[in-house]
Structure 1
Amino acid sequence: MAHPKPTPGPIIIIGAGQAGFSAADKLRDLGHAGPITLIGAEAQLPYQRPPLSKAYLLGALGRERLFLRPAEHFARREIDLRLGVRATAIRPGARAVVLSDGTSVPYDRLLLATGAMPRRLPEAIGGTLAGVMTMRNLADADGFAAAIRAARRLLVVGGGYVGLEAAASARKLGVAVTLIEAADRILKRVAAPETAAYFRKLHQDHGVDLREGVALSRLEGQGGRVTSAVLGDGQRLEADLVLVGIGVEPETGLAEAAGIAADGGIVVDAFCETSHAGIYAAGDCAAFPWQGERLRLESVGNAIDQAEVAAANMLGHAVTYQARPWFWSDQYDTKLQIAGLSRRFDQVVVRAGGSEQARSIWYFAAGKLQAVDAINKPRVFMIAKRLLEGGLPVDPAGVAKPGTDLRALLADQGEKAPAHNTDSRGSGLVAVPGRRGTS
């Protein structure tokens, strides 16, 4: 696909989340002097999402500290921030975006950073009852924070990281929590049984009634508000609040309506460009080529890195996106840091961490390191990131030996071992394969 030459013309970014913000800032860093319009459907300044189900929900992080930058930052960088307004249509032929306030904004280059929306329960099984909530944006977090403090019994539907984090926060607030997972174990899609076992015990030790292999049959209510849940095994549970954490769907509707290709996400090439020249996509909504397939990464690191690559390419730099997956999750006093993708593996090595609360889980495929789950082991996480990013060989048998100095794995390759974890960007914890295809 031919790549455009640098242009001083206007650039529009649809989506004022982490990816949209990062792209806007990078455009200015790279010297773009033309107009930049950042469109956000929410009324708030661009903010970070990972703390919503953790520190913000618990009241440990104030609202102002969620914002990525104050309003003055956008004014100073001459970024036209349009909040509380939606993009309703893209007109590629006219090179314009139509907004919900009736205005039409022209562009030379366009970035889609539309993100993803949480899956919801069907109305037929009680999904629209009051008290049935999701956790994706600031309004969700504010609503849930108020509801959880008045709740007695919370039901969490879904044993992924969002559900587990919300369960942990609710227990810290003294609310009785039942978590159900339809699969035979929690974290089925994203972690090995060894990692799942650690977090199962962690939640049970904190009083969560954790039930695996149990689906939700329906929710029941009185006066339009949820009061109980009937499970697939016939049991009925009282619940005055339900959090649904069953994954998300990429926001592709706007792109598809404009004739832009989508397949498990908005399809982009290695340069983050869509099927329409001059239109790019980045973040949770983008499905990019990776090791012979298409992949979406739902993480802050991906949103930042991919958006910055898209920004560079909008200005004419032929930069390919090289994904470096990493994630994290905070639950109770436990920090899980993940380097790499564990979707395909044939061997798992568990390395003790010096205490019952610390360990690391190493994933291998045909003897090659794929990913590492570091539980309360920040130094191991940083070493694992270096190993994976450098494609360095790692012997599974060596990792399994308690006496092995992991820093030596880097030193042997001329790398300097990190002293501590210096990477503190946010989380987000799902890697979603799209359908197979090429760019």
Structure 2
Amino acid sequence: MDAPLVVVGGGLAGAEATETLRAEGFDGPLVVVAGEPEVPYERPPLSKGYLLGTAPREAAQVLDPGWYGEHDVDLRLGVRAVGLDPGAHRLTLDTGEELAWSRLLLATGCSARRLPVPGAELDGVRYLRTLADADRLRADLTGGGRQLVVVGGGWIGLEVAAAARSHGNEVTVVEPQPTPLYAVLGPRMGEVFARLHRRHGVDLLTGTTVREIRGAGGRVTAVVTDRDVGLSADLVVVGIGAVPNTQPAASAGLEVDNGVVTDHALRTSAPGVFAAGDVAASFHPSYGRHLRVEHWANALHGGPAAARSMLGQDVRYDRVPYFFTDQYDLGMEYSGLGAPGDTVVCRGDPEDGGFIAFWTSDGRVTAAMSVDVRDVTAPLQALVRSRQRVPAAALADPDAPLESLVV
């Protein structure tokens, strides 16, 4: 029998790749090494519907659990890859088994970045990356009455803060930058989210750094910052970013640089080995450089693209980066890749209702964000992809149809 195709990773990218391999006609042996003891799942519900209590746990599953058996997929739950030999086409598992492969996809995702301060090991310090993390945090938040400190004003931190407030908890967010989401959205758009959370009762401390977490009896009691000797807390959630899981790729000698490096077809530096999702730093033809994108849409589309590349199809993975968030009554979608020096042009008033923000450089739209404006993602992505110059007045004009801006 031929050696199987092997997918390493039990997240959205791995599951979508597996489904695509079968959909594209591959009927040979197929193994998924899932890592966690969970049927492959996607992460947005962990900080959104499931954490809010509005969606069941099963909503995170990418495919019905029965799908794998029905499609003759060897799904290995709770088994991790610990070694890779690209030359011998062998994958070593933590069970001690050496698994042969003909082609292999690394979809190993990321791990939560740990907080490097005294007291970070105390009971009551939480992270949110896995379904098990979400189970525990949801139990913590349900019923309210907690004093919660969120370390980090990025997407995860803000979504956790919104969920915690919806459950009736007191929330303080500590963020070292001048606004939440400062590095992603810049100061003006960061203030949109600052106002949103303050309006919903969050105590948002910007320009503030956590120095220590204190406790009693092994349990969190307070958070010390460079401005406060002790913020009362019986629960601390750390959301300070993620680190790509580049092992065992790095130890096997694959090119690694802020992720597993791939070309435009998601091929790594080792023949027969591919990478997709959060862990992949892939060459993007439109941007002319390698990008590592940690958002849902990249896993959703990157997994199938990698599967087709594994099957020898001609693949040019060049999706416009996209992400979304829902916090309280606000819905946001962002497409593109803005830079700190870009000029921001708004269509609508960011302080009064829905609006669209455009990031521009040399008159070209590098990114666009819609806030409480629905069904505009397709024209906004077309505008970003076109790379054509558009007058700022046209971008700001609500009477100018978005479709008309791309000639």
Q: What TM-score, normalized by structure 1, do the two folds share?
A: 0.88
Pairing partner for 2:8 from 14, 20, 27: 14
Q: 2:322: which partner in 1? A: 326
Distance 2:53 2:225 in 1: 32
Structure 2 counterpart SS, 1:297: coil
> Is 1:94 the equivalent of 2:93?
no
> Is 1:152 the equivalent of 2:140?
no
Q: 2:33: which partner in 1? A: 39
Distance 1:387 1:8 in 2: 46
Distance 2:15 2:366 in 1: 30
Distance 1:40 1:148 in 2: 28
Q: Which runs of 5+ in 1 are unaligned?
A: 1-6, 414-439
CA distance 1:235–1:99, change in 2 (3 Å): same
On the 8 A contact 1:353/1:377 being kept in 2, the answer is no
Distance 2:385 2:299 in 1: 18
Distance 1:154 1:384 in 2: 37
CA distance 1:309–1:8, change in 2 (3 Å): farther
Does 373-382 or 34-43 show the bigger shift?
373-382
Pairing partner for 1:362 from 358, 362, 372: 358
On the 8 A contact 2:145/2:168 being kept in 1, the answer is no
Give, in angstroms, the shift of residue 169 of structure 1. Answer: 0.6
On the 8 A contact 2:86/2:271 being kept in 1, the answer is no
Give, in angstroms, the shift of residue 192 of structure 1. Answer: 2.7
On the 8 A contact 1:194/1:361 being kept in 2, the answer is no
On the 8 A contact 2:40/2:62 being kept in 1, the answer is yes
Pairing partner for 1:308 from 301, 304, 307: 304
CA distance 1:145–1:213, change in 2 (3 Å): same
Give, in angstroms, the shift of residue 9 of structure 1. Answer: 4.4
Give, in angstroms, the shift of residue 77 of structure 1. Answer: 1.5
* Matched letter for residue 73 of structure 1: W
Q: 1:375: which partner in 2? A: 371
On the 8 A contact 1:335/1:375 being kept in 2, the answer is yes
Distance 1:245 1:357 in 2: 28
Distance 1:43 1:151 in 2: 32
* Matched letter for residue 339 of structure 2: R
On the 8 A contact 1:8/1:32 being kept in 2, the answer is no
Deviations 1:342-379 (A, max 9, x none): 13543111111699231111110110011111000123
The aligned runs of 1:43-122 (5 Å cut-off) are 43-122=37-116
Identity %: 40
How many residues of Structure 1 are paired with residues of Structure 2 in the alignment? 404
> Is 1:129 the equivalent of 2:122?
yes
On the 8 A contact 1:97/1:105 being kept in 2, the answer is yes
Q: What TM-score, normalized by structure 2, do the two folds share?
A: 0.95
Pairing partner for 1:337 from 333, 343, 364: 333
On the 8 A contact 2:335/2:369 being kept in 1, the answer is yes
RMSD: 1.8
* Matched letter for residue 142 of structure 1: D
* Matched letter for residue 105 of structure 2: L
